[in-house]
Structure 1
Amino acid sequence: MTSDHAPPRFAPTALMLGNIVTGCSVLAPAGMLPELASGLSVGIHTAGLLITFGAMVLCICSPLTAWLTSRLDRRRLLAATLLVLALGNLASAFAPDYASLLALRLVMLAVGALYTPQAAGTAALISSVEKRGSTIAYVFLGWSLAAAVGLPLITFIGSHSGWQAAYLAVGAAGVVSFALLTWRLPSGLKGARVELNTWVELGRNRMVVLLLLITTLQMSGQFVIFTFMGPLLKKLTGADPNQIGLVFAIYGACGFIGVVIATRIVDGWGPYRTSLLFTCLMLAGVSAWTLGAGVYPLMAVAVAIWGLGFASTNSMQQVRLVAAAPPLASASVSLNTSVLYIGQAIGSAVGGSLFARDLLGPTGYVAMGFVVLSLLAILASRPRVAVAVLA
């Protein structure tokens, strides 16, 4: 049941910090692919499969765990998920070989798939209807901060102290986040039960299906480049680890700024127009990356523009899904997270295939194609009431 009052003090922040840990857990290999490849004696493409296979597990487990845990107390559920992520990252630091690291990652992410959709659903439970959009966007800000702060730190630690130290840092952050969430999130929060026919109802909802397609296309396009952004920058521009870390920081910082702006305007603009705006920025950034390939300053500026859109569009997708089918929000948001990871798997697999064949230039054009398709899908999802008013 949605609250009519302000959420408990620091509860949204606790949920947001959990998303930082989740985001860092998912994205960490992208920030230290060369170190992982060198330390584990595998190729860059093989190291990139940590993201591809992890995304596949996430996309399967997100709706499955939403169904299995829909009636559990949210505080206990989310706290347990963060504890598994913390322990999984700490254990990863001691993995003796690639196979062990991959196995640990898959187990950790199978449980971690719970967090983002359940955090979004919990944010809806503790906020008023009027503030639901901005609260969900704020909670999703954790993913922006994971890219803005977490990923550059992972890149820095990995390049200077080794990939094991980077995993230890993420694990320590997970322990802190677990403690804060256990302290601040109220107990007794439960969403609507997710039944098998819930998925059937969602499949019959045209708007929900279209929104899920948008998420898939957006993430596929971005991860064609993002998974191998560090190695691409090194090969195309000769960038060193510090320059690569700077680009990751620009990407994440602009993502943070984008979400802050989206959080402030969504209640007035509405999620459709906000989503359209930031997807256009994403397309502009990916296009600039493609056209500026080989020139480090141009590619860094392109990443800044792209960064403004990447996290904002994700948070708007969450808001639009909650509005499209409020009683089914827990299930629809979990499906959105699932297709988000499907997009990551598709994009990283396509990007990896191109990278392995040394087709570095075409990666940008393939990414642009996916994002253009997502923009067309957004236009097709225009709310009917808006069409009527404009007519």
Structure 2
Amino acid sequence: MLGNFVTGTSVLAPAGMLGELSADLGVTIAEAGLLITFGAVVLCIGSPLTAWLTSRIERRLLLTATLLVMTLANFASALAPGYAALLIIRLISLSVGSLYTPQSAGAVALITPPERRGGAMTYVFLGWSLAVAFGVPLVTYVASHYGWRAAFVVLGALGCLSVVLLALRLPGGLKAAPVDLRTWVAVGRSRPILTLLGITALHTSGQFVVFTYIGPLLLGLTGAGAAQIGLAFALYGVGGFVGNMIASRIVDGWGAFNTSVLFVSLMLTGITLWSVGAGIYAVMALGVAIWGLGFAATNSMQQVRLVAADPSLAGATMSLNTSVLYVGQAIGSAIGGALFAAGLPRVAGFAAMALIALALAAVLLATRERKG
């Protein structure tokens, strides 16, 4: 879970310091946002590729080495002389970091019994909720008071702690089923798996239309300062933490499908409030909190549903789901950047609504087909 916190905060860090990066590096807000967009492109390509190349490596060694690379890259980012160097460092870091989240889920599947797997996987993914609840606000605070370079140093220090704990506490000898060409062919022939991957792409795209530019959008629409922007990130992340905790307790009784319907509906409700309340900070912040209740739990449910769809393909499908999640990040942040650059900040919310509504429709259709 701590490793997912470090990974999530590292991936999302630029969203918490777009203003500082833009001012110090001499680039526009939209160009600074490309640190997330281009990083997501690398992540979506790297996740299935590295899963295939490293499928025979023992899990403790793999996860520890992955976090070590990301940790060193965060320290290197603090020393980057300019925008191009920072972008290159992030792309190298994330090409390796794409391994951590899916392979941590795979490791959980290896060390927990089937009847506890859903709750355990949801718990591990709390790391991403905490990344938004505490990691990104921490980045926002440090960057606004001490500079963006200091924020990367803090991320590096957190990474060091996680590397040590993984090396000391994760059991050795954990090996997943090898991923080969037949595995990918089987995934491509599975309609339920492809449907689930489509849902991931839709809801993630919708969220990142707004999430990548939450800071500049709040500043432009409501005049929010650094403290209010940090509070919005915290509301989103705390909501995600609470939602994930609720999901971990109800999923084994409700089932992953019904639980998914609930939390995607919460995401849509929250982003709708953000959109119709544009210009009123209190309404937008409430929307962020409700939206946050759904985002992390939905990601966790996707992983649980993919494992349930075909446990023998879990290593490949979780990596591919992570890849598709990053595809969604790239698409959403690109749409959000284009709308922001075009001077259409209010339209971003409605674009996000449309994509998340499509995700909810797909969840409902998949649930109905499964019950039928």
Query: Given the two structures, how large is their TM-score scaled by the length of structure 1?
Result: 0.94
Equivalence for 2:154: 169
Deviation, structure 1 residue 383: 6.2
Deviation, structure 1 residue 197: 1.6
Q: Deviations over 1:215-268 (max 9, x none)?
A: 000000000000000000000000000110011111101110000000011111
SS in 1 for 2:114: coil
Q: Is the 8 A contact 1:272 1:383 kept in 2?
A: no
Equivalence for 1:13: none
Q: How far apart are the structure 2 equivalents of 1:108 and 1:290?
A: 34
Q: 1:66 aligns with which of 46, 51, 59?
A: 51
Q: Tell me if 1:291 matches 2:285.
A: no
Q: 2:27 aligns with which of 12, 17, 42?
A: 42
Q: Deviations over 1:54-107 (max 9, x none)?
A: 000000000000000111100000000010010000110010100000000000
Q: How far apart are the structure 1 equivalents of 2:185 and 2:338?
A: 35
Q: Tell me if 1:91 matches 2:76.
A: yes
Q: 2:350 aligns with which of 342, 347, 365?
A: 365
Residue type of the alignment partner of 2:134: V
SS in 1 for 2:188: helix
Deviation, structure 1 residue 384: 4.8
Q: How far apart are the structure 2 equivalents of 1:210 and 1:33?
A: 34
Q: Tell me if 1:225 matches 2:210.
A: yes
Residue type of the alignment partner of 1:301: L
Query: Identity percentage over the alignment?
Result: 62
Q: Tell me if 1:27 matches 2:8.
A: no
Residue type of the alignment partner of 1:300: A
Q: Tell me if 1:317 matches 2:335.
A: no
Equivalence for 2:112: 127
Q: Is the 8 A contact 1:282 1:310 kept in 2?
A: yes
* Unpaired stretches in structure 2, ≥5 consecutive residues: none
Equivalence for 2:234: 249
Q: Is the 8 A contact 1:279 1:375 kept in 2?
A: yes
Q: Tell me if 1:344 matches 2:329.
A: yes
Q: Is the 8 A contact 1:283 1:368 kept in 2?
A: yes
Q: How far apart are the structure 1 equivalents of 2:359 and 2:369?
A: 19
Q: Deviations over 1:300-349 (max 9, x none)?
A: 00001000001110000000001101001010000000000000000000
Q: Tell me if 1:201 matches 2:209.
A: no
Q: Deviations over 1:285-310 (max 9, x none)?
A: 00000000000000000001000001
Q: How far apart are the structure 2 equivalents of 1:340 and 1:29?
A: 18
Q: Tell me if 1:51 matches 2:36.
A: yes
Residue type of the alignment partner of 1:352: G
Deviation, structure 1 residue 386: 2.9
SS in 1 for 2:316: helix
Equivalence for 1:147: 132
Residue type of the alignment partner of 2:239: C
SS in 2 for 1:95: coil
Q: Is the 8 A contact 1:93 1:163 kept in 2?
A: yes
* Unpaired stretches in structure 1, ≥5 consecutive residues: 1-15
Q: How far apart are the structure 2 equivalents of 1:106 and 1:383?
A: 40
Aligned length: 372
Query: Given the two structures, how large is their TM-score scaled by the length of structure 2?
Result: 0.99
Residue type of the alignment partner of 2:81: P
Deviation, structure 1 residue 382: 1.2
Q: How far apart are the structure 2 equivalents of 1:386 and 1:355?
A: 42
Moved beyond 6 Å, runs of 4+: none
Q: How far apart are the structure 2 equivalents of 1:200 and 1:378?
A: 24
Q: How far apart are the structure 1 equivalents of 2:154 and 2:371?
A: 47
Q: How far apart are the structure 2 equivalents of 1:286 and 1:280?
A: 10
Residue type of the alignment partner of 1:213: G
Equivalence for 2:255: 270
Q: Tell me if 1:180 matches 2:139.
A: no
Coordinate RMSD, CA, aligned: 0.7
